[in-house]
Amino acid sequence: MFDVIVIGGGAAGFYAAIHIAEQAPELKIAIFERGKTVLSKVKVSGGGRCNVTHGEFSPKELATNYPRGEKELLGPFHKYAPMDVMSFFEERGVSLKIEEDGRVFPKSDSSQSIIDCFLNEAERLGVKVLRNSSVKRFERKDEGWQVTTMNKHYQTKKLLLATGSNPKIWQQLEQMGHHIVPPVPSLFTFNITDERINGIQGISVDAAVEVLPKKVFATERTGLGLKSTSHTEPVLQSEGPVLVTHWGLSGPAILKLSAWGANLLHDYHYSFRLNVNWTPEYTTGSMEAFLRKVKEVEAKKTVLRTPAVDIPKRLWAKLVHAAHIQPDEKWADVTKEKLQELSKQLTACSFRVEGKSTFKEEFVTAGGIDLKEINFKTFESKLLPDLYFAGEIINVDAITGGFNFQNAWTGAYLAAQGIVASF
């Protein structure tokens, strides 16, 4: 018999259990983890450094980093935000640092600092951690819940689910009346096979990227009768560093597109057209005008060895080649057609995306418990009393940069408050 059972030995589960135990030391608390190791996602996050949160201290601004959950998390972020998380770790001897891009890491640059902190706190506070305890079933019983593992039944007054993207748990919740938004991947990189980026992996460029729609044809009435026109307004846009990889394109701008477009790109079966403007300060027209001036000024120099814009030389060489300009061709000899083509390659470089890859080890899912069914003051189920949620089990996900962890910490903290207050 426990007062509180937390299912899921990850970031949200431990954070909640620790806060409950601190505020109500008399309660019997257990964490059930299906695997033999706890906090495995914390271990690999941020390339093994653990991107704890983000140094964005305005709740309103913070919430804008959540493609799903922006509106719902605004209130919770007013109550528990990155500064509170940083204080939590600092008070427990884990020194943190805010990097230039706003991401927050332990000064040790090791996720083990976070894991050790959680394990030490759980032990100090008497939280029981049951590993290899896969939950087969949980059901409402009398004044609480019964949790069934392989060979045991446990009783608890309050149940907190922090199981991440676990289809079996979602399935049980669905049987109990919760609506589950079908999960799709979020935060992924784009697979592209294209000569223009082949062999130049590792270069990063501040660029503007946009996903074009699957061709939609509309019929327009013109003076000559009816004609079919293709709609090519972008359906997703983003700006920021774009990284060329062995398998295609990655970097913050691409990851942002994948998060905001998680459902749309899933509907496209990850096959779509991507436009990259390697020089976002220019349009195709203004680039062409600029290149005409360069042609006059640098007439005697070769195009290949005289980059007109500030992009990596290896990329410039690839784009010059794609514009059919010869290696020894001088600016003076470049035809109008080739100049137009080079302008296009620089500002509207079109790629065919065929598939996706997981970003590092950070597998993030869009989908989960419908947000309308959660009380965001306490993260308690609106349908099932004494049942609480925290972390990725709910339909909240964020772009990269520590925001997914912040959702876990905030939800876990408010669920802990709600649980303690309900005793």
Is the pLDDT at 49 greater than 70? The verdict is yes
State residue 362's pLDDT score: 64
Gap between the Cα atoms of 403 and 55, Å rounded: 10
Contact in structure between 379 and 418 (CB atoms under 8 Å):
yes
Quick: pLDDT tens for 169-193. Answer: 999 999 999 999 999 999 999 999 9
State residue 143's pLDDT score: 86
State residue 222's pLDDT score: 45
Secondary structure, 3-state, 106-143 = ECCCCCHHHHHHHHHHHHHCCCEEECCCCCCEEEEECC
Concatenate the DSSP letters of all residues of 306-325 into one string.
S-SSSS-HHHHHHHHHHTT-
pLDDT band at 58 (very low <50, low <70, confident <90, very high): very high
- Which has the higher per-residue pLDDT, 358 or 273? 273
Q: Which two tokens stand for residue 229?
A: 């026109």
Quick: pLDDT tens for 123-162. Answer: 999 999 999 999 999 999 988 999 999 989 999 999 999 9
Quick: pLDDT tens for 372-382. Answer: 999 999 999 99
Is the pLDDT at 216 greater than 60? The verdict is no
Gap between the Cα atoms of 226 and 272, Å rounded: 28
Is the pLDDT at 304 greater than 60? The verdict is yes
State residue 312's pLDDT score: 97
- Average pLDDT (328-347) is 97
Contact in structure between 112 and 44 (CB atoms under 8 Å):
no
pLDDT band at 19 (very low <50, low <70, confident <90, very high): very high
CA dihedral 242, 295, 318, 344 (to 10 degrees): 60
Closest CA to 351 of 228, 190, 207: 190
- How far, CA to CA in Å, does 299 sit from each of 133, 296, 332? 73, 5, 4
> Which amino acid does the sequence have at 86?
M
pLDDT band at 220 (very low <50, low <70, confident <90, very high): very low
From the number of C-beta atoms within 10 Å of its C-beta (0-12, 13-18, 19+), residue 14 rates as buried
Residue 87 C-beta-side C-alpha neighbours within 13 Å: 6
Closest CA to 8 of 178, 170, 212, 227: 170
Is the pLDDT at 215 greater than 70? The verdict is no
> 91-95, 227-231, 250-254, 283-287: which range is least confident on average?
227-231
State residue 231's pLDDT score: 54
The alpha-helical segments, DSSP class H, found in 238-312 are 252-260, 262-267, 284-297
Is the pLDDT at 228 greater than 80? The verdict is no
From the number of C-beta atoms within 10 Å of its C-beta (0-12, 13-18, 19+), residue 177 rates as exposed
Other Cβ atoms within 10 Å of 325 Cβ, number: 23
Question: Could you tell me which residues are beta bridge partners of residue 184?
Answer: 366
Q: Which two tokens stand for residue 216?
A: 């939609």
Q: What is the mean pLDDT of the chain?
A: 94
Q: Which two tokens stand for residue 5?
A: 């059972």
